[in-house]
Amino acid sequence: MPQVLPQKDDEYFCTSVNISSEDIFIKKFDPNADSNRIHHIIIFGCRNLHRRTQLYPNHWPCSHSQLCPGMRVIYAWGRNAPSLQLPKDVGFHVGGGLSDINFLVLQAHYAHPLSEHDSSGVRLLYTIQPQPYVAGIFLLASLNGMIPPHQSQSHVDINCRLNRDPITVFAYRVHAHALGTVISGYRYSHNKKRWDLIAKGNPQWPQAFYPMDNLMQIDSQDIIAARCTYNSTQRNTLTNMGSTAGDEMCNLYLMYYSENPMLNNDDSMSRTFFYSLNEQRSDMESCEDIEFDSEFYRNLPDGNDQPLPRNLTMEQSAIGQH
């Protein structure tokens, strides 16, 4: 951030950079931030900006509105998460003539005022060498979930059909606020007719992208589901989903890769396919609330809402203690 000074609770600031001059492949995200100062950071890829005055070193107040045309998530950070290195042969493709991402927007959420200016951010390490696989993020998020007060355990659910070309998930990130105890994600295989665990995380630990022990392919007709579990025993009022620290969130980010169509032997076919894919992608990259409301799709495997075993190292890292 370009030396911003938050002066009230739950301020959001954004700045942006133009990366349209050449095709690049991001290989690593290296955050320069501290959770004692900043609540979370999100990097969005954008086709364009609303105003060119939004370019760095300028900044503007922003929240969860449509920040830019063609907006989609590239990276997210919270609770002192460490750097993220992508797997070999995988990169986020941005910039240049074959990507529809011409700008990167960094959004920072400051939960509380600061007494001095802040320049938190994320360093990106990249290559101009095309990678065999391109990375992306599929976000499961609740917009309308509600958490009743005085409950030791309550759920907010999300599910939808993938309904796009197959993806291979290799990392995940969970995000909730103070009430979140565990977030679990599942795939219902259209072919195998069964639920399989994709990921399970504690939102009170560093909100990093954690590599999966086993890669998981999700096919077009598969169902993806997420369940966020909360403990509201200390709350006296209903808690809604929202952007402030006093609200809650239910987010599961799935980082995936798929084959890079740029490397197709037929260059003209590759370009046609790639542009077609990008035109549709903004409608494919998220799953919001409930698509399938039957008991079958809500009856997730046993243990879905059981917290992970305590890990003191993770807990201390999340609050800046070592």
CA distances from 94 to 59, 75, 257 (A): 22, 13, 14
Which residue in the list 1, 93, 177, 207 is annotated as catalytic? 177
Which residue in the list 71, 241, 249, 262 is annotated as catalytic? 249
Which residue in the list 1, 59, 93, 175 is annotated as catalytic? 175
Which residue in the list 54, 71, 93, 109 is annotated as catalytic? 109
For residue 249, indicate whether it is catalytic.
Answer: yes
| Nearest residue to 137 via CA among 32, 248, 257, 247 | 257
314 is in an annotated binding site: no
User: Per residue in 18-27, is it b (16+ CB within 10 Å) or e — as a string?
Assistant: ebbeebbbbb
For residue 64, indicate whether it is catalytic.
Answer: no
Which residue in the list 1, 40, 59, 216 is annotated as catalytic? 40
For residue 107, indicate whether it is catalytic.
Answer: yes
Task: Quote the radius of gyration of the chain (alpha carbons, Å).
Answer: 19
Whole-angstrom distance, CA of residue 198 vs CA of residue 171? 9
175 is in an annotated binding site: yes
Whole-angstrom distance, CA of residue 161 vs CA of residue 226? 12
177 is in an annotated binding site: yes
For residue 59, indicate whether it is catalytic.
Answer: no
Which residue in the list 1, 54, 59, 107 is annotated as catalytic? 107
For residue 117, indicate whether it is catalytic.
Answer: no
For residue 40, indicate whether it is catalytic.
Answer: yes
Segment (H or E) for 288: strand 286-288
Whole-angstrom distance, CA of residue 94 vs CA of residue 155? 36
- Taking CA 10 as the corner, what is the angle to CA 150 and CA 282, rounded to the nearest 5 degrees? 95
Whole-angstrom distance, CA of residue 81 vs CA of residue 317? 8
CB 156 within 8 A of CB 232: no
249 is in an annotated binding site: yes
162-165 contacts, C-beta under 8 A, 24 or more apart: 162/138, 162/218, 162/219, 162/220, 162/221, 162/222, 162/223, 162/224, 163/220, 163/221, 163/284, 164/220, 164/280, 164/284, 165/220, 165/258, 165/277
155 is in an annotated binding site: no
150 is in an annotated binding site: no
Whole-angstrom distance, CA of residue 73 vs CA of residue 45? 6
CB 118 within 8 A of CB 11: no
Whole-angstrom distance, CA of residue 165 vs CA of residue 150? 43
| Known binding residues | 39-40, 109, 175, 177, 249
| Known binding residues for Cu(2+) | 39-40, 109, 175, 177, 249
Residues noted as catalytic: 39-40, 107, 109, 175, 177, 249
